[in-house]
A and B are shown apart, each in its own frame.
Chain A
């Protein structure tokens, strides 16, 4: 408990990180509020097309070319973006941690083999790779999560492997071997807690990357056709950029703020979890 209070205090010292956290909380609240405020599908054509924002109180952010409510799209999009961002990050972190931990701990040919595998995944341009995967598997929330997860784990694997290499020669790990502790137990109870901090920091930034990737895929028309996504909104509005710029600007700004907020949170977590790096 005391550790948690100290963590919160250190985090709160970084003003930008607090702002980031507030923004992320707002996005989360938007996602949660979407089904309550806009129970109908955001694909429904509910009003006059191309209503500008702030003109009709019923459609505060206006409507698009087909008369769909932009506000409903933004709120439902928040839920889609966050879900995909978080779940894809979990996939990526679990996969990366597994590969990194096994390679770092066992070393030798296992590490060599996993290292090669990591290289293969990392040398491919990750967005093109994700694009190809989604195109082959046909776009859906599940395949998008899978594709983002599969292309973003290598940096996590490298990070965890590096931490493990540094930790495994430490005497406390030798002491665990000395009492006859099993590898799985050492990895789970001794080593992973010691690299939790950098993994958490990476994860928070990865959520931002995943959201951005999903939006990009959706922009290119590779979003899940059944859900409204910020990327889809931009993609559909790009032809009207000259006449109805707000249709691209609104989701664009929302993406920008969300990604920035997550990065600020990541930085704040980094400072709060590694107090030694901060000057006194």
Chain B
């Protein structure tokens, strides 16, 4: 197997809160091959967005935040890179698109200026060339009448259009890794479909790797090749797309899938399978498996000991004593 494009190993992120350091991400491993789409799925607070920020080097500085582990892009460890080196990679080797299309563009500059700026940060080129490239990029993200829209201000764009502009900015220097953090969560269904389709096309065309962060299993099913499921800062399961949906191994993944109304019959028979309880707060994580208090099949060991992420057959990984095939005590 060739070395992956991005190799995150043992990533841990802690945030300072009220004099304590709380683990937002704990011992996370993710590998993404060039051109591959990996989805990280989980509920709010599971650490998926923090992971993206850690890879991009956009977390707050110590002592508010402590990062440990490795995140190697093409063999270069991003976490130990000085800020200047990281800045050079950001935008060029990797880029990020975030959720909020309303606030992610600066309202006082035209869309064209903001794209051209992204181009010129990384390539020495004339203003004219940058502008020409900006038109190209707007066309790339399928904004109709691109040359004319270049001089519009962001408020003239709809949410979907702004997200396209954000993607254009991210694509300015042909990144090899695109991190998309909930890129369609704030958008309507029909616009979401457009953006997902665009991301898929761009990825196929430029062969970039896509790290898609989402809470939506539907988006995962549409886009991903491999899926990492996170819960309370830890990876609980990782599997190729189809096997994961066909037979999830971790009780949390199983619960998530069953809780989705898509799998219940339409109308009538109204009960959904719920996951009881709530996600534990970071300052009160259980000793053993973080999911144990909500898990229907937890036994004593789950409460005392944290399950490691282990192979669970078919090239899948799961962090569950049950999934690893260990017998429960009587």
Q: How many residues on chain B are close to A (CB under 8 Å)?
A: 4
Q: Which residue of A lies closest to B19 (CB)?
A: A280
In the complex, which residues 36-56 of chain A have their Cβ closer than 8 Å to any Cβ of chain B?
A: none
Residue of B nearest to A280 (CB): B17
Interface residues in A226-280 by Cβ distance below 8 A to B read 280
> Is B267 an interface residue, CB under 8 A from the partner?
no
Interface string of A122-139 (1 = CB under 8 A from B): 000000000000000000
Report Cα–Cα, A280/B16, bound state, in Å. Answer: 8
For residue B17, which residue of chain A has the nearest CB?
A: A280
Q: Distance in Å from the Cβ of A230 to the closest Cβ of chain B?
A: 45
| Nearest-Cβ distance from residue B18 to partner chain A, whole angstroms | 7
**How far is it, in angstroms, between the C-alpha of A188 and the C-alpha of B64 when the chains are bound?**
41
Per-residue interface assignment for chain B, residues 44 to 81, with 1 indicating a CB less than 8 Å from any chain A CB and 0 otherwise: 00000000000000000000100000000000000000
A280 to B17, CA, bound (A): 7
- What residues of chain B lie closer than 8 Å to A280, measured between beta carbons? 16-18, 64
- Inter-chain CA distance A280–B283, complex, in Å, is 15
Q: Nearest residue in B to A279 (C-beta to C-beta)?
A: B64
Distance between B203 CB and nearest chain A CB, rounded to angstroms:
38
In the bound complex, CA of A280 to CA of B64 (Å): 9
B:1-43 near A, CB below 8 Å: 16-18
Residues of A within 8 A of B17 (CB): 280
* A9–chain B nearest beta-carbon distance, Å: 12
- B24 to chain A minimum Cβ distance, whole angstroms, is 14
Could you tell me the distance between the alpha carbons of A280 and B18 in the complex, rounded to whole angstroms?
A: 7
Taking the closest CB of chain B, its distance from the CB of A119, in whole angstroms, is 29
Task: Determine how close the nearest CB of chain A comes to the CB of B65; give it in whole angstroms.
Answer: 11
Complex Cα gap A250–B17 (Å): 47
> When each residue 84-97 of chain B gets 1 if its CB lies under 8 Å from chain A and 0 otherwise, what string results?
00000000000000
Question: Can you name the residue of chain A whose Cβ is closest to the Cβ of B16?
Answer: A280
Closest to B64 in A: A280
- How far is it, in angstroms, between the C-alpha of A103 and the C-alpha of B64 when the chains are bound? 43
Inter-chain contacts of B64 with A (CB < 8 A): 280
CB distance from B219 to the nearest CB of A (A): 28
Q: For window 150-191 of chain A, which residues contact chain B by CB distance below 8 Å?
A: none
Q: Which residues of the partner chain A approach B18 to less than 8 Å between Cβ atoms?
A: 280
Q: Which residues of A contact B16 (CB under 8 A)?
A: 280
**Would you give the 0/1 interface string for B171-208, flagging 1 where the beta carbon is closer than 8 Å to chain A?**
00000000000000000000000000000000000000
Inter-chain CA distance A261–B64, complex, in Å, is 33
CA A62 – CA B228 in complex, angstroms?
A: 82
Q: What's the least CB distance linking A243 to chain B, in Å?
A: 59
**Whole-angstrom CA separation of A180 from B267 in the bound complex:** 33
Nearest 4 pairs of A and B residues by beta carbon: A280-B17, A280-B18, A280-B16, A280-B64
**4 A-B pairs (CB sep. < 8 Å):** A280-B16, A280-B17, A280-B18, A280-B64
